[in-house]
Structure 1
Amino acid sequence: MSARLRAFGFVAGSLAVPVVLYVAFVINPYVQAFQIALTDWRGVSRTPGFVGLENFARLWDDQVFWQALRNHGVLLVTLPLVTIALALFFAYLLNLGGGGASGKMRGVRGAGFYRVVFFLPQVLAVAVVGVLFKAVYRPDESGVLNSALAGLGLEPVGWLTEPRLAFWSIIAVMVWQAVGFYVVLFSAGMAAIPKDVFEAAALDGAGRVRMFLSITLPLLWDTVQVGWVYLGIAAFDGFALVQVLSVDRGGPDGATTVLPLEIWKTAFSYSKFGYASAMGVALFFMTITFAALTLRVTRRERIEF
């Protein structure tokens, strides 16, 4: 047996079990979801009947579906934009914000400690984060924010009970939880850029803003692109925080609802598994389309250094 055949056999044998498990526990559920979306299945106690594309047609007239979709649109704009902007700003300070004599670039003092502080929310479970911010957003003076407002002589604010504020309050929690991870991610990317590039630019008189726009961002663009895709996918989720923080699971008046939450409610509260699967299929294709378009639109020629 040739060395090439032996190598192929080793690789095939090593991948066989992971591929089988992936097909069984990832691909197979997706295929089953597509099948269930074409039925009127209401749970294990009833044999599903084939309804074709009827469930998908119902989505066009479902106001709750469109409200959730509008909320995802807001998330798609705000969550990646705000998170990446903050993460880039903090990562730049932690790696290059300290300056120094003779143009030598370094991070701010205590950068290692700040990295740990920024990353701390990633260690906490999403449910724990939700419970913590329940205390922060309490509508009376026992809440952290309203207690501070009371100290200033202001009336308490219904952060999660006011329709105009509730979703923005939850988005703020999503940003708070996500920023730390991307600070570490962008810090790793900046650390890979040779410091000589920044020092030469500093000696030539380039300011912080010019170095960021002309050097840091172009050389970090691939990492930013990946972060944007990940955050966009996260914007199509939001189930856990909305479930824990929102009033009446998506309220008030549907102001905070998202598609994963509506899928869960439709399936397990109303026993409409076929319709819930149709929502899931629609969400799947929207997520895939977003990722593909983002990678296409933000693609740039790779810069080597």
Structure 2
Amino acid sequence: MAATRHGRYGFLAGAILPGLALYAVFVLSPYTQAFYLALTDWTGVSGEVSFVGLANFGRLLDDPLFLAALRNNGLMLLVVPLVTIGLGLLLAAGVNFGGRGGRPGLTAVRGAELYKIAFFFPQLLSLPIIALLWQFIYHPNEGLLNGLLRGVGLDGLARTWLGEPRLALWAVMAVLIWSSVGFYLVLFSAAMESVPRDVLEAAVLDGAGRLATLRLVILPLLWENVQVAFVYLGVLALDGFAVVQIMTVGPGGPDGATEVIGLGLYRNAFTYGKFGYAAAMGVALFLLTLTLAVLALRVGRRERVELS
């Protein structure tokens, strides 16, 4: 018995310890180094490192660009997850329960799988490719968007979408939503397929419309999926570096209208050689992301719905 137990523990140790070692080297070690560098004035080149304590974090509160980035990331955190999840739920419900034939309100639309593939297509493109694509779409003279507006006689609505401070950030957020909504359409569609049909039939027989069924029946059953989606989209909104770096003038312009924390981190580290200060920005971003995840999973916690 003792030999069997020893062999079992040896097997578990052999299976777990290599993974823990890799995790410590490639995950915990970089985080630890970042936390340490945030307390120094390291330039990234010199071997001399001076310990400055919390001075870098104090500078963040007096940095107008960082405060602008914090404000922009906060707006993105409000808009991108809510709009993406809302559109994903509506489109998933429309695809899965928007058909006209068969039982009322319970049949998928014709060609539902094709719709899912079409909406999912942006996931096949990398974010830099999407940013370049939309940079051409937003072009003030030769872009597709202004071209369509002028083509239908709406010349007055044509804008320099990425050149106007009050529009640039909204244009960037539209790209993030467009690139993400297809994935959550597919995610929510898969979850909706597991919803018992008798529950939906009972709602239809009680006179609930499609929107009421989505809000009162389907959404509570999909709440855990929505929570996870909010966390992932929140992380995307708190980042936004690749899209802003590629699409915007400056980048981060015009006049800091699209400045985000990740862009300030990159600029301070690789342009100004302030790796210690950039590490402080990274630590601040890490703490914001961790806080978001904890709040989203705890504040939005609901009792599990049990179906017999």
Q: TM-score when scaled to structure 1?
A: 0.96
- The code of the aligned residue for 1:296 comes to R
Task: Map 1:1-305 onto structure 2 (within 5 A).
Answer: 1-103=2-104, 105-140=106-141, 142-151=142-151, 152=153, 154-155=155-156, 156-305=158-307
Change (3 A) 1:171 1:104: closer
Q: Note the C-alpha offset of 1:110.
A: 0.7
- The code of the aligned residue for 1:119 comes to F
- The code of the aligned residue for 1:174 comes to L
- The code of the aligned residue for 1:45 comes to S
Is the CA contact 1:138–1:144 (under 8 Å) kept in the aligned structure 2?
A: yes
Q: Note the C-alpha offset of 1:79.
A: 0.4
Change (3 A) 1:261 1:205: same
Quote the Cα distance in structure 1 between the aligned partners of 2:190 and 2:6.
39
Is the CA contact 1:102–1:203 (under 8 Å) kept in the aligned structure 2?
A: no
Which stretch has the larger CA shift, 3-12 or 196-205? 3-12
Quote the Cα distance in structure 2 between the aligned partners of 1:291 and 1:51.
30
- Residue deviations 1:186-212 (CA, integer Å, cap 9, x gap): 111101111121123223332212211
Quote the Cα distance in structure 2 between the aligned partners of 1:289 and 1:66.
18
- The code of the aligned residue for 1:254 comes to G
Quote the Cα distance in structure 1 between the aligned partners of 2:253 and 2:104.
54
Is the CA contact 1:94–1:111 (under 8 Å) kept in the aligned structure 2?
A: yes
- Residue deviations 1:213-260 (CA, integer Å, cap 9, x gap): 221011111111111111111111111001110111111111001001
Quote the Cα distance in structure 2 between the aligned partners of 1:211 and 1:299.
21
Quote the Cα distance in structure 2 between the aligned partners of 1:12 and 1:192.
38
Query: Identity over aligned residues, as a percent?
Result: 52
Quote the Cα distance in structure 2 between the aligned partners of 1:247 and 1:235.
19
- Residue deviations 1:132-151 (CA, integer Å, cap 9, x gap): 001100011x1101111222
Q: Which runs of 5+ in 2 are unaligned?
A: none
Quote the Cα distance in structure 2 between the aligned partners of 1:216 and 1:27.
39
Is the CA contact 2:99–2:105 (under 8 Å) kept in the aligned structure 1?
A: no
Quote the Cα distance in structure 2 between the aligned partners of 1:183 and 1:74.
23
Quote the Cα distance in structure 1 between the aligned partners of 2:4 and 2:183.
43
Which stretch has the larger CA shift, 274-283 or 14-23? 14-23
- Residue deviations 1:149-176 (CA, integer Å, cap 9, x gap): 2221515410000011000000000000
Q: Note the C-alpha offset of 1:290.
A: 1.2
Is the CA contact 1:136–1:143 (under 8 Å) kept in the aligned structure 2?
A: yes
Quote the Cα distance in structure 2 between the aligned partners of 1:278 and 1:79.
25
Q: Note the C-alpha offset of 1:102.
A: 4.3
Quote the Cα distance in structure 2 between the aligned partners of 1:181 and 1:76.
18
Q: Note the C-alpha offset of 1:99.
A: 4.7
Quote the Cα distance in structure 1 between the aligned partners of 2:63 and 2:288.
17
Q: Which runs of 5+ in 1 are unaligned?
A: none
Is the CA contact 1:43–1:273 (under 8 Å) kept in the aligned structure 2?
A: yes
Equivalent residue of 1:236, what SS? Answer: helix
- Residue deviations 1:74-101 (CA, integer Å, cap 9, x gap): 0111001100000000000111121544
